[in-house]
Structure 1
Amino acid sequence: MNVRDLVNFETPPESSPLGGQSSSNHMLSIPPSRAPSPTNAPTFSRRASIVLIGMRGVGKTTLGTIASKALGWELLDTDLIFEQQQGVPIAKFISTYGWEEFRKVESKHLETILPNNLTGKVIACGGGVVELERNRAILQRFRDHGPVIHVLREKDAVLAYLRDSPQYPPFLHETAKEAWDRREQLFRDCCSFEFVSLTMPVPPAPKGFKDIITPDQTFALKPVEEDFFRLLRFIHGVDTKKVTLSPRGPRSYSLSLTFEDVRQAIPVLDELSTGIDLWELRVDLLSSCEPTFLAFQIAILRHHSPLPILFTLRTVSQGGRYPDVSPQNEKAVKIQAWLHHHALRLGVEYIDLEVVMPESTFTSVVEKKGNTIVMGSYNDWAGTLNWASPQTRHLFEKMTQLHVDIVKIVGAAKSFEDNMALRQFAGLVERSSTPLLAINVGPEGKISRALNPILSPVSHPLLPRAAGPGQISFYETQSILYLTGLLPAKKYYVFGRPIGHSMSPTIHNTAFSYLGLPHSYSIKETATVGELKEVMLDPNFGGASVTIPYKVEIMPYMQHISRHARVIGAVNTVTSIPGGGLSGDNTDWRAIKSCLTRSLTPANVVTSSTTALVLGAGGTCRATLYALHQIGVINIFIWNRTRRRAELLAEEFSKLDPLLRIRVLDRLDVQLPIRPLPTMIISTIPAAAPTSSELIDVGLRIEHLSDAGGVAIELGYERRITRLLSLAQEKRDQGIAWAVVEGIEILLEQGYEQFKIWTGRRAPARKVQEKVLEVYEQRRGLQSPPMQ
């Protein structure tokens, strides 16, 4: 696999914001597309070229530059190609020959460029490419082969840019706004997907800078890169954000956003996401269903949260606000269908289809769903559904025959017994291959929400309104499960010596408490690893963090060890296996990898020439080398006081990959024999001597840090500012994009990974970080000894 493919389209390790015309009217003012996009007709090759279309100024060239660097593909900008082949700027060509001639020549270029560049290219098209019908036909044919992505940006920002741009003469017979409004539907007729490139504050390029994007600008555009590659991974099925759905597997939860505008939720989005696995965007509750408004709503939600999104347009008869649609009302049917196809074009991970909608709409969306998961839903707000009747079983079977991925049936509880009937029904259909989400609404139905194991809808006090009657919070569901014996309290520990000042209890106990989980976490310090056996045999034992000196010694006690931990040669996470036995894993490398990939800018995407420098050759160096290898770095240098120890480590890890080259440095206080200079430097050694507060100087100098920018990571957290991090900060002060990752951040990341392994839930990162930093600063104020 190509190194860039490994970085940007990585398979899971175990297996190898608001533009547009807003309106309070829920009915669209534009007609449905005359040529609906075949959103999933082909399965694209990962090498299929990517075509970007959209208005001038939306950032197609910038986005194309980011994508081409990340993928290692050539960027073809049709405007630049036009100027190169005609020998004059576009503005001069148009002023000389006119717009009509420009469009003819542009079309000839398009007829050549697209068919001859089917793979390995990012192609950014001119803003008016959709003006000619033959161009639209070319784009529509291409989308059967590869993704054609309509790029949007905030309308006011783009129009301001067009007013000030000297590149083109004014539009012919219309304003830029009129051209935008007219072309918007033409772009949607031609695209297979739509991407909103949210405007980021980007520093200006210095005078005389010739490249398209400076390193500092790429750092500012990192969020755009992340959002765009989230869409590409979804398109190619590499990461579709699927939630594990099993009646006997980990429980999953969803939360309906009931805001009129997603922007209102941003300040509390982190708190709202506590414990949940999926957002339900209640489109019928938004202030508008206008397509560009919807595109920005979804883009904003994605930008602020990694969770998948369920697109729901709930009709009045099904408990929502969108008007009911009669099959006889052709216009209403077309609009409802268009909105659901628009959701597919936006790349939503889940979509809700009401079983009462016109069958033609239902089947057309299922046929075009691509990697989107379809939830077929039936909501009985009248209270006539009887869980024990044959009609309910027939309803379930009818929905499965419609080829949905999840069946959702909502009844209304009049008594507690209705919840028992629901669970009996769920048991009858449990063997079906189609997962069932089944709940009862109303006060008497609250228990059904807690007992439902699949995407159970929960509420939150910070929502403007509940999505349905009888909803309870995630915290309340955990309390109910604990009181009914379905969530037993587990004991978790940190194993090691000395560990008196470990921050791990603060991390995990804070997370347990905030999520309402009944577990506990404490310190277990022993003289030998053998003394831990009795603790691990306790039936209430849930798992443990393992630190020095037991990361290797504890491995013989494991019945299962992950592939990652075996390669690294150390276990830092122990988990009790349901039914008996212990499993060992390593989350150190995951934390390092996460911080590296999050901090690297698009300008420093990993290539075959990327270099990394690792300081130290101890146990954490092993996890560091593995993390670097996992993101595709093949040129690694190690410095260690004891050269022989570094050499043995280099010899061992070089066997992982024939392309991997790990070399050992003798000294750091000289000009480094590394070309290009490292864009990743990771220190695995203590920042200060154990008996002194002075920072250890191993000889690293500011000239050793690349002028192309990079990321500096400190694994030790006994000091927040170290020699390495101060050098990186000095580079930042010079305007060079070096990211700084403190040891406390690595500690938190590996703890979050452990928490997810043990509980199946994401840790409430912001709350945990706040508490850990509070305790950390208190201990520093007391001048406590170094923490493990």
Structure 2
Amino acid sequence: MPHRDANVHRKVDPEASLVLIGIRGCGKRSLGFIAATALKRRFITEDHYFKEVTGLSRHEYLKQYGSQEFQQRDIEVLKLMLDNHRSRCVIECGLGSLTRPVQEYLRQYSLTNPVVYIARDMGPIQKLLGLDDQAAKLLGEGDPLHRNCSNFEYYNTEDRSSFAAQPDEEAQDRRSVGYSFKLKEAKEDFTRFVRFVTGTDVGHSSYDSPFVLLETPPELRSYTYAIFVRSSDLIDNRVKLLELESGGDAIELCVDCWSPEMAMTVSNQVSVLRRNTHAPIILSVDSHALRVTGNQCSEQRRNLYSQIVEHCLRLAVEYLVVDLDQDHAFIDEVIRNRGMTKIIGQRIFEPSSGVAWDNEECLSAYLNAAGLGCQLVRILRVATEREDNTAIAKFTNKIEMLPGDHPPIIAFNIGSLGRTSQVFNSILTSVSHSAIDRRSRNERDPQILARDAVQALFQSYVLDPLQFYILGGSVAYSLSPAMYNAAFNHCGMDHTYSIPEKPTLAALDQLGRDPNFGGASIVQPWRVQVFQKLAAKSRHAEAIGAINTIMPLRGQSDGIMFPLQEQASRRHLAGPVLGWYGENTDWVGIMTCINRNLSPRNAISPSRTTGLVIGAGGMGRAAIYAMLRLGCRKIFIYNRTLSRAERVARHFNSWAASQVGSTEVVYVLQSLHDDWPDACPPCIIASCVPADPDGDEPPANFEMPMQWLGSPTGGVVLEFAYKPLETPLLRQMRLFRSEMGRPWVLVDGLDNVAEQAIAQFEILTGRKAPRRLMTMEALRNSFDEKTIRARLGINE
């Protein structure tokens, strides 16, 4: 492990080219393509550039000029490639990164650009390249050298979705065990990683609402939790990773052991936690556990701590905990080289210190951290008696009363006697999880679950039980009550979700004014009608012209409404309802389904990608908006009643003229008998025809005209009707796919139901949704046990 380099830089220009390095087989080419798509940049590979400059492939050049001349020319071309493409590119470096001259060049390049070392387990590389053990060993020996010439690191963990290199006909079916396309999960992970590293979209997210979790980081929300996981627990396989996806707003990985090999282990652990939880990562170091060699002097321990912190910064985690007892010059260096990572300055007061919460030392520790430039401050104290919990509120109030802007404070007692203070701490409280089987009891580790803490807040009347509803024309068979009530119980919330006896608009007016009203799901046919009743709405609901979610807007007794940011922090508090806020999560569910299921071959391009939407109701509007948000600029709409399709097209073309610089993005198809227009055949098809007839809308018996299915690379078909689940369209497409051999991915209505409900749950509650639980509840209420097991790929 190299010593810290004071010249490491991670704050880069968002336009600076991203460089990927690593040994053969690590996945640079695939990840580079993903990064270029996510960042909308040109992708340059060393092989292609070498031929462009020399007129010969690398193999041809080697054969013609010999090894020595080839190596020299290869280095020259690689340097030229880096120099000529310093901005708005994604660059893949080949074998040249293993040579000393190129490594030195990359080290200098990393002062201005993100240079990412792609690490990967040697087993899959050896299998991929067909290497014998000796060749694999030789290849692997040079790999750690990449750490010396890079400023970031990404561990390319194995993708569970990659069942086969070429998915067969069944593997493209969402209901099939083998469904997937290669690198599906890596695509999601690496997209988030490169956007974070480059600072892309910081402050410019897709949602732009105080109610959306992605908009507001955990430290700015009320009662958020970080699941505490030790590196040693992961090494000993004592964590059920899939279950960590709920129960916290972040994951804190505590590095409690270290050796020369642990750098790769920690990289892998961060990658695995990201993959399984989709939550922000906090990295911390247990200095006590690291002091294992009795002969270590204090300087050696500081160097060890410094090495671990440097490695943690390389991984571009969202948060890094730094001990405030460290040298101030070291902390200053960490903060300067943090990139987009937020630094949590931490001070732990031991019983031997004699420091109480009302002592000057606590405030001094906070002010010290704030002065150093920490983004958050965590003050912890080992409780020795229950009375230690009562003084914390005075301390945090003192912090909040400080003038000007100052970093958020995390303050609680640790140990079993500190549990009361942990319940009432508002920001990123450390919690345990039932998925962690700890080998031994550590009194300093968290001893409460997030669910316990939330329940305690309801039981102590800090939070209020609220009622949530679903309203629409046909809600008797809705899956939402089962999904929501299971999620409420799982999260420790005393809320209820139900179908009113008379789910009418008049009932909504009555229920929506109840002081204990928490919000409602709005389904067909009222997505557009309720839109007119709102006091405020998100810009997405405004753009779509339809909503599927309303939330109460509360105010003071004098009738003055709280600002939206405060409304978001009061989601679990009852009170007078002065109006409604409207949101639309249908488009979020649709966007998620498209993103997850559209293969890299059909990556969305404004000039080439064509979308097709069937239906002109609220769901059709959401589908058009989702496609536009993803970058599709040519969308066709068909509806049996032509005038409704024309009205929707006018609405979005008017919106697009002011938002995306296009005067026409939605085109109306006149008849099912017409040939496909002069445009690329659609590779994204969304059938938004309701299962039950609604006015002049037909039931879900639509089938695609064969002349519209000309996409040579297939695409994705989303069917939003789910009663019945097997619609005529899905039967038709399954047969068409089998006969034509084109790679169409079929997504049935249950997927979108779950995805939009998950997004809606998070908006209504401000809590991370238990995705697996809600999805399982949707399945349980739709299929028998045998069908569920088959759909999930569980063997008998």
- TM-score tier by shorter-chain length is 0.7 to 0.9
Q: Which residue of 2 aligns with 1:654?
A: 653
Q: Which residue of 1 aligns with 2:473?
A: 497
Q: Which residue of 1 aligns with 2:104?
A: 137
Amino acid at match of 1:119: S
CA distance in 1, matches of 2:785, 2:253: 43
Instruction: Provide closer, same or farther for how the CA distance between residues 68 and 757 of structure 1 changes in structure 2, counting only shifts above 3 A.
Output: closer
CA distance in 1, matches of 2:34, 2:217: 32
* Conserved 8 A contact 1:243-1:277: no
- The correspondence of residues 326-341 of structure 1 with structure 2, limited to 5 A, is 329-341=298-310
Q: Which residue of 1 aligns with 2:587?
A: 589
The Cα of 1:297 is off from its aligned counterpart by 1.5
Gaps of 5+ in 1: 1-29, 207-215, 782-788
Amino acid at match of 2:670: D
Instruction: Provide closer, same or farther for how the CA distance between residues 195 and 528 of structure 1 changes in structure 2, counting only shifts above 3 A.
Output: closer
The Cα of 1:161 is off from its aligned counterpart by 4.7
* Conserved 8 A contact 2:610-2:633: yes
The Cα of 1:506 is off from its aligned counterpart by 1.3
The Cα of 1:571 is off from its aligned counterpart by 2.5
Amino acid at match of 1:128: G
Gaps of 5+ in 2: 168-177, 203-213, 556-576, 788-796
Q: Does 1:770 align with 2:737?
A: no
The Cα of 1:498 is off from its aligned counterpart by 4.1
Q: Which residue of 1 aligns with 2:45?
A: 77
CA distance in 2, matches of 1:535, 1:561: 19
* Conserved 8 A contact 1:412-1:442: yes
Amino acid at match of 2:194: L
* Conserved 8 A contact 1:347-1:372: yes
Out of 278, 294, 300, the position equivalent to 1:306 is: 278
CA distance in 2, matches of 1:37, 1:149: 16
CA distance in 1, matches of 2:201, 2:87: 21
Amino acid at match of 2:3: P
Q: Any idea what SS the aligned residue of 1:115 has?
A: helix
Out of 185, 209, 212, the position equivalent to 1:223 is: 185
* Conserved 8 A contact 1:260-1:286: no
Q: Which residue of 2 aligns with 1:191?
A: 150
Instruction: Provide closer, same or farther for how the CA distance between residues 443 and 304 of structure 1 changes in structure 2, counting only shifts above 3 A.
Output: closer
Amino acid at match of 1:661: V
> What do residues 20-51 of structure 1 show as CA deviations (whole Å, max 9, x unaligned)?
xxxxxxxxxx4426x566242x43233x3222
Out of 712, 736, 756, the position equivalent to 2:762 is: 756
* Conserved 8 A contact 1:599-1:711: yes
CA distance in 1, matches of 2:526, 2:786: 26
Out of 706, 714, 719, the position equivalent to 1:709 is: 714
Q: Does 1:348 align with 2:324?
A: no
> What do residues 91-126 of structure 1 show as CA deviations (whole Å, max 9, x unaligned)?
565567554433211121123221112223322212
Q: Which residue of 1 aligns with 2:544?
A: 568
The Cα of 1:695 is off from its aligned counterpart by 6.5
Instruction: Provide closer, same or farther for how the CA distance between residues 276 and 572 of structure 1 changes in structure 2, counting only shifts above 3 A.
Output: same
- The correspondence of residues 156-555 of structure 1 with structure 2, limited to 5 A, is 156-162=123-129, 164=131, 177-178=137-138, 180-185=140-145, 187-200=146-159, 201=162, 203-204=164-165, 219-238=181-200, 244-245=217-218, 249-258=221-230, 260=232, 262=234, 268-284=240-256, 290-316=262-288, 320-323=289-292, 329-382=298-351, 384-432=354-402, 433-465=406-438, 468-469=444-445, 471-526=447-502, 529-555=505-531
CA distance in 2, matches of 1:619, 1:633: 19
CA distance in 2, matches of 1:263, 1:675: 53
The Cα of 1:509 is off from its aligned counterpart by 1.0
> What do residues 7-31 of structure 1 show as CA deviations (whole Å, max 9, x unaligned)?
xxxxxxxxxxxxxxxxxxxxxxx44
* Conserved 8 A contact 1:702-1:731: no
* Conserved 8 A contact 2:471-2:503: no
CA distance in 1, matches of 2:710, 2:250: 41
Q: Does 1:664 align with 2:634?
A: no
> What do residues 525-575 of structure 1 show as CA deviations (whole Å, max 9, x unaligned)?
547523432322211111111223433333444321222222222222111
Amino acid at match of 1:305: T
Amino acid at match of 1:522: S
Q: Any idea what SS the aligned residue of 1:145 has?
A: coil
CA distance in 1, matches of 2:46, 2:376: 43
* Conserved 8 A contact 1:252-1:455: yes
CA distance in 2, matches of 1:595, 1:698: 21
Instruction: Provide closer, same or farther for how the CA distance between residues 583 and 768 of structure 1 changes in structure 2, counting only shifts above 3 A.
Output: same
Out of 729, 739, 745, the position equivalent to 1:724 is: 729
Instruction: Provide closer, same or farther for how the CA distance between residues 39 and 223 of structure 1 changes in structure 2, counting only shifts above 3 A.
Output: farther
* Conserved 8 A contact 1:261-1:287: no
CA distance in 1, matches of 2:753, 2:646: 27
Amino acid at match of 1:189: N
Q: Any idea what SS the aligned residue of 2:391 has?
A: helix
CA distance in 2, matches of 1:701, 1:287: 61
Moved more, 324-333 or 56-65: 324-333
Amino acid at match of 1:309: I
> What do residues 624-657 of structure 1 show as CA deviations (whole Å, max 9, x unaligned)?
2222211111111111112222122212211111
Q: Which residue of 1 aligns with 2:569?
A: none
Instruction: Provide closer, same or farther for how the CA distance between residues 408 and 128 of structure 1 changes in structure 2, counting only shifts above 3 A.
Output: same
TM-score (norm 1): 0.85
Amino acid at match of 1:577: L
Amino acid at match of 2:192: R
Q: Any idea what SS the aligned residue of 1:401 has?
A: helix
The Cα of 1:681 is off from its aligned counterpart by 0.5
Instruction: Provide closer, same or farther for how the CA distance between residues 243 and 309 of structure 1 changes in structure 2, counting only shifts above 3 A.
Output: farther
The Cα of 1:205 is off from its aligned counterpart by 6.7
Out of 739, 750, 772, the position equivalent to 2:745 is: 739
Instruction: Provide closer, same or farther for how the CA distance between residues 390 and 70 of structure 1 changes in structure 2, counting only shifts above 3 A.
Output: closer
CA distance in 1, matches of 2:261, 2:449: 28
Q: Which residue of 1 aligns with 2:118?
A: 151
CA distance in 1, matches of 2:786, 2:156: 42
CA distance in 2, matches of 1:393, 1:434: 13
CA distance in 1, matches of 2:492, 2:180: 40
Q: Which residue of 2 aligns with 1:696?
A: 701
Q: Does 1:626 align with 2:625?
A: yes
> What do residues 250-285 of structure 1 show as CA deviations (whole Å, max 9, x unaligned)?
221001113536477698334334231100111115
> What do residues 492-545 of structure 1 show as CA deviations (whole Å, max 9, x unaligned)?
111233433322211211111111100111112547523432322211111111
CA distance in 1, matches of 2:243, 2:411: 26
TM-score (norm 2): 0.84
* Conserved 8 A contact 1:259-1:286: no
Amino acid at match of 2:728: R
The Cα of 1:85 is off from its aligned counterpart by 4.9
> What do residues 272-307 of structure 1 show as CA deviations (whole Å, max 9, x unaligned)?
342311001111158986212221121122122210
* Conserved 8 A contact 1:39-1:193: no
* Conserved 8 A contact 1:445-1:470: no
Moved more, 560-569 or 280-289: 280-289
Instruction: Provide closer, same or farther for how the CA distance between residues 336 and 663 of structure 1 changes in structure 2, counting only shifts above 3 A.
Output: same
Percent identity of the aligned residues? 30
Q: Any idea what SS the aligned residue of 1:43 has?
A: coil
CA distance in 1, matches of 2:331, 2:429: 23
* Conserved 8 A contact 1:55-1:127: yes
Q: Any idea what SS the aligned residue of 2:343 has?
A: strand
